[in-house]
Chains A and B, each alone.
Chain A
Amino acid sequence: MSFLYPLALSGLALLLPGLVAIYFLRARYRRRTVSSLLLWRQATQPHLSGLRREKLRLPWLFLLELLIISSLVIAAAGPRFKRQDSSTLWLVFDPSASMGAVAADGRSAAERAIRQARQQGSFRTRTRIRILLARAAGAENLGAFTADQALKQLSAIDCSEPGDSLEATLGLVLSMRDPADEILILTDRAPAVPDQLPPSVRWLASGQPLPNRAITLAERTALADGRENLLIEVRRFGAGTAPVRLTISTVPGGSAIYDALLALNEEGRGLLRLELPAATPELQVEIEDDALALDNLVLLLPDLPRRVAARVELRDPALQQVALRALAATGRLASGEQAAELLLTDQLPAQPLAGAAHWSLIFVQPAESQLRCGPWLSEATHPLLEGVSFAGLTWPVGTNSLPGRALLLSDDRPLLSLVEPPRGAPVLYLVSRGAQDALFRSPAWPALVWNLVQAAAERQPGPDRRNLTAGKAARFSVDSRAAQAVFMTPDGRVELPAPTGRIEWAPPQTGRYRMLLNNREEPFVVNFIAPRESDLQQSQTGEW
């Protein structure tokens, strides 16, 4: 039982002595006149032998008044009875990977936290416990449970998140909970601002600062001719800068392409660069086992840039040459006869281009053109303009307008615009008088074409990358007319709605995944790369 206004209980301390004083000091005896004391005097004769225990001689009226005063004071204090169905313990659990780090005693921080939670009085007394997981991407509500069910739920939690969202989850709980509810946070780190924790929040940290080795960077980037560059970074958190044994082997086959001690610098950091020959299969990168097993293994799939089937339909032969040359320079043109995924043309379509190609670039002649040299107002954050600089260019500006969203403007005249229907093919409009434009002789043109090819490639069904990092979202495109994306995860199958044909998703687990498409599968892997989580030196034990 708790009280809304506990100060009201102090009234009991004031009223009770007053009542007792009234009875004991002032109104203890009520005067009554009797005919004679002859018979009453005999009633007051003392006992010949003392009683072992005197009876309470307070009148019942005193006890009644005492009861009334106590009831009034307790009512004023606003008692709140925590009945089984009305009270809730909000349990925020940190499912980050560091909670799964195993100490020398064989117990993880999560196991110690659960044990500590069981010893909390509120955990035993409350029969309604709502569990929220502070995942890296945000809070997840597991539901309300009894104490026994909650323990089972907590024991089944897989601590593999690349981070936590404890502060955000706590804010969410504070906005949702009833004022009488309590909040218990189970984690392995201290709160960011311990002094600002609300009174009803108990923050229990059960971590231990343990030494740990971790793979903190693993990238496989494409070079020319199908070769790849492999970059691995290994760090040691605590326990000096001794070399770390690193093993890189191919999958399948298991043949090691690297197995040696990797020297670390004074910061405990070691880098390995390897050039992989063309057609190198999946790689498995491992270091020795330690407190946290999750960051000791990385899988890397070959991730060559995707090729795109492009078609150029320009009436101006010079401009046709310019376009073909830029496309060829990307090195990502698909060979063979297949439907175009990228179309470059100078003919305005009479009908929407949906279904004709993934992407289209339409060259538009300016009306009453004037040559301008800026200034240019561009939407630099758009992926199509990534790395594209229009500085120093001259551009023929017309009076005609372009449809869609303007990506590049000169005053109020659009030079580049994008029409992007929800599920149709995007169209990019470009104002150009022909191959003599300065744009086609500047670095901005190949960069723009590269981005266009990349955008068309991302429209191909499958993940945008094959080597993903846990906790970081990746983009996935589904087959045309498919309404959902289907994945085979390390422990099951996941179906996600994709109404626009593309989704962003952060796979929760590390391991191998497959995206199921119409007639094929697109594999990808998710690795645990989270240096902050691997640094177990920040873990600690305490209560706030």
Chain B
Amino acid sequence: MNDSTSSPTIRDGLVRGRNLGLRYRLVLPQASLRGRSGARLGTAAGASLDFHDYRDYHPGDDLRHLDWSVYARSDREVVKLFREEVAPHLDLLLDCSRSMAEPAEVKASAAALLTAACAAAAGQAQCSRTIWQAAERIAALPNSADDPAAWQSPDFATTHSPDRLLQHSPPAWRPHGVRVVISDLLWDCDPRPLLSRLADRAASLTIIQLLSAWEENPTPQGASRLEDAETGEVIDLVVNPAACDSYRAALQRHRESWLNACRACGATFVTVTAEDFFRSERLSALENCGLLEVL
């Protein structure tokens, strides 16, 4: 972290995201929701008061759950199972590489907005959360359980893409939790093994690709010397309509590879445009993909 708390744009993103997120609730997948004992019903049998199922008695079962009525009628030892009460959890990974702050800071602000909105919506769903920052290493935001407006502003300064960190030193994801990754995904890697690892033991996985409007649809700039924000590598290119068309085609192929990989591992892939969040009072893209629902 740095002194980016003074950055009004990212700070505004956090505040605006918190306010937007309070209108939503994180959608929890019922089929595979697991977690610690908590306030929400899980999919497995547990210790709640809600009846779940019957099964034959096995030695060691709690005799208090033996259904004596069934035993009296059928001389069978049947145990009543009750619904499990779980505490769902949101693991949200925010890509804090330098590319998230380029080509304009509006992209970083949108990333902060999305993160804050998801965190606030998770709170609305009585869901615990951990916000992970993928910087030089993947680390949890210290006070991510607090109000997002009180967070320290993320520092988008690292020159590493999060793919290698996720492969080799993944964060301590909560098993059966809801996982969300916010990044521009402008990495040169095969998404399938990465997504398999992310989706492993996850209740759901949502990949949010955040790009600026110019990155979505670049316009001709003439002869340009393009510099990679992270590596510093440069290429000389005449950004003419043909080059822009070629870029858009490459972006389309890139997105299709991520979409196919998401489908393969049951993840959801969402593309959002940074500028849209500052023009609208709704998080339509996240509603449409089923990540959030309006209260």
Q: Do the beta carbons of A40 and B223 come within 8 Å of each other?
A: no
Q: Note all chain B residues with C-beta closer than 8 A to A45.
A: 246
Choose one: A28, A43, A59; the contact of B247 (CB below 8 Å).
A43
Interface residues of B (CB under 8 A from A): 99-100, 102-103, 107, 184, 186-188, 211-212, 215, 221-231, 233-238, 240, 243-244, 246-247, 250-251, 254
Question: Can you list 17 A-B contacts (CB < 8 A)?
Answer: A28-B223, A31-B224, A32-B224, A34-B102, A35-B184, A35-B229, A36-B229, A37-B226, A37-B228, A38-B187, A38-B254, A39-B247, A43-B237, A43-B244, A43-B250, A44-B237, A59-B222
Any B CB within 8 A of the CB of A335: no
Residues of A9-46 at the interface with B, using a CB-CB cut-off of 8 Å, are 28-45
Q: Do the beta carbons of B223 and A57 come within 8 Å of each other?
A: yes
Choose one: B184, B222, B237; the contact of A40 (CB below 8 Å).
B237
Give A478 Cβ to nearest chain B Cβ, in Å. Answer: 89
Any B CB within 8 A of the CB of A61: yes
Q: Do the beta carbons of B227 and A33 come within 8 Å of each other?
A: yes
Report how far A45 CA is from B246 CA in the complex, Å: 10
If A30-B222, A32-B224, A34-B227 are given as contacts, then 20 extra A-B residue pairs at C-beta distance below 8 Å, sorted by A number, are A29-B225, A29-B236, A30-B223, A31-B225, A32-B226, A34-B103, A34-B226, A35-B102, A35-B184, A36-B187, A36-B228, A37-B233, A38-B187, A39-B247, A39-B254, A40-B226, A40-B243, A43-B246, A44-B237, A44-B243
Q: Note all chain A residues with C-beta closer than 8 A to B237.
A: 40, 43-44
Minimum-distance CB pairs A-B, first 6: A36-B186, A35-B99, A43-B246, A29-B225, A59-B222, A42-B250
Give B162 Cβ to nearest chain A Cβ, in Å. Answer: 13
Q: Note all chain A residues with C-beta closer than 8 A to B235.
A: 37, 40-41, 44
Q: Note all chain B residues with C-beta closer than 8 A to A41.
A: 235
Report how far A403 CA is from B246 CA in the complex, Å: 113
Report how far A40 CA is from B235 CA in the complex, Å: 9
Q: Note all chain B residues with C-beta closer than 8 A to A39.
A: 186, 247, 250-251, 254
| B contacts with A: majority SS | mixed
Interface size class of A (residues with CB under 8 A): 20 to 34
Q: Do the beta carbons of A29 and B243 come within 8 Å of each other?
A: no
Considering the complex, give the chain B residue whose CB is closest to the CB of A62. Answer: B222
Report how far A57 CA is from B224 CA in the complex, Å: 12
Report how far A104 CA is from B221 CA in the complex, Å: 76
Report how far A44 CA is from B250 CA in the complex, Å: 11
Q: Note all chain A residues with C-beta closer than 8 A to B99.
A: 35-36
Q: Note all chain B residues with C-beta closer than 8 A to A32.
A: 103, 221, 224-227
Q: Note all chain B residues with C-beta closer than 8 A to A61.
A: 222
Report how far A45 CA is from B230 CA in the complex, Å: 21
Q: Do the beta carbons of B229 and A34 come within 8 Å of each other?
A: yes
Report how far A265 CA is from B260 CA in the complex, Å: 122
Considering the complex, give the chain B residue whose CB is closest to the CB of A30. Answer: B224
Report how far A57 CA is from B220 CA in the complex, Å: 12
> How many inter-chain residue pairs (CB < 8 Å) link A and B?
92
Report how far A34 CA is from B247 CA in the complex, Å: 13
Residues of A40-95 at the interface with B, using a CB-CB cut-off of 8 Å, are 40-45, 57, 59-61
Report how far A137 CA is from B103 CA in the complex, Å: 87
Considering the complex, give the chain B residue whose CB is closest to the CB of A43. Answer: B246
Give B225 Cβ to nearest chain A Cβ, in Å. Answer: 4
Report how far A25 CA is from B245 CA in the complex, Å: 27
| Most chain B CB neighbours (cut-off 10 Å) among A34, A40, A59 | A34
Report how far A29 CA is from B234 CA in the complex, Å: 11
Q: Do the beta carbons of A29 and B224 come within 8 Å of each other?
A: yes
Give B266 Cβ to nearest chain A Cβ, in Å. Answer: 26
Report how far A60 CA is from B220 CA in the complex, Å: 11
Give B184 Cβ to nearest chain A Cβ, in Å. Answer: 6
Report how far A145 CA is from B29 CA in the complex, Å: 97
Q: Do the beta carbons of A34 and B225 come within 8 Å of each other?
A: no
Choose one: A29, A35, A37, A44; the contact of B223 (CB below 8 Å).
A29
Considering the complex, give the chain A residue whose CB is closest to the CB of B253. Answer: A42
Choose one: B102, B244, B247, B250; the contact of A33 (CB below 8 Å).
B102
Q: Note all chain B residues with C-beta closer than 8 A to A30.
A: 221-225
Report how far A59 CA is from B238 CA in the complex, Å: 9
Report how far A61 CA is from B103 CA in the complex, Å: 23
Considering the complex, give the chain A residue whose CB is closest to the CB of B215. Answer: A35
Q: Note all chain A residues with C-beta closer than 8 A to B184.
A: 35-36
**Known: A30-B223, A31-B227. Contact between A40 and B247, CB under 8 A?**
yes
Q: Do the beta carbons of B186 and A42 come within 8 Å of each other?
A: no
Report how far A41 CA is from B222 CA in the complex, Å: 16
Considering the complex, give the chain A residue whose CB is closest to the CB of B238. Answer: A57
Q: Note all chain B residues with C-beta closer than 8 A to A57.
A: 223, 238, 240
Report how far A317 CA is from B114 CA in the complex, Å: 148
Q: Note all chain A residues with C-beta closer than 8 A to B244.
A: 43
Report how far A42 CA is from B188 CA in the complex, Å: 12
Give A214 Cβ to nearest chain B Cβ, in Å. Answer: 81
Q: Do the beta carbons of A43 and B243 come within 8 Å of each other?
A: yes
Q: Note all chain A residues with C-beta closer than 8 A to B221.
A: 30, 32
Q: Note all chain A residues with C-beta closer than 8 A to B186.
A: 35-36, 38-39
Considering the complex, give the chain A residue whose CB is closest to the CB of B214. Answer: A34
Report how far A60 CA is from B233 CA in the complex, Å: 27
Give A25 Cβ to nearest chain B Cβ, in Å. Answer: 12
Report how far A37 CA is from B250 CA in the complex, Å: 11
| Most chain B CB neighbours (cut-off 10 Å) among A44, A60, A61 | A44
| Most chain A CB neighbours (cut-off 10 Å) among B223, B233, B244 | B223
Q: Note all chain A residues with C-beta closer than 8 A to B233.
A: 37
Considering the complex, give the chain A residue whose CB is closest to the CB of B227. Answer: A33
Q: Note all chain A residues with C-beta closer than 8 A to B236.
A: 29
| Most chain B CB neighbours (cut-off 10 Å) among A29, A31, A36 | A36
Give B229 Cβ to nearest chain A Cβ, in Å. Answer: 5
Q: Note all chain B residues with C-beta closer than 8 A to A36.
A: 99, 184, 186-187, 228-230
Report how far A45 CA is from B250 CA in the complex, Å: 11
Give B252 Cβ to nearest chain A Cβ, in Å. Answer: 10
Report how far A38 CA is from B184 CA in the complex, Å: 12
Q: Note all chain A residues with C-beta closer than 8 A to B234.
A: 31
Give A192 Cβ to nearest chain B Cβ, in Å. Answer: 64
Q: Note all chain A residues with C-beta closer than 8 A to B227.
A: 31-34
Q: Note all chain A residues with C-beta closer than 8 A to B107.
A: 35
Q: Note all chain A residues with C-beta closer than 8 A to B254.
A: 38-39
Report how far A59 CA is from B228 CA in the complex, Å: 23
Q: Note all chain A residues with C-beta closer than 8 A to B102.
A: 33-35
Considering the complex, give the chain A residue whose CB is closest to the CB of B240. Answer: A57
Considering the complex, give the chain B residue whose CB is closest to the CB of A40. Answer: B226
Give A65 Cβ to nearest chain B Cβ, in Å. Answer: 13
Give B228 Cβ to nearest chain A Cβ, in Å. Answer: 5
Q: Note all chain A residues with C-beta closer than 8 A to B246.
A: 42-43, 45
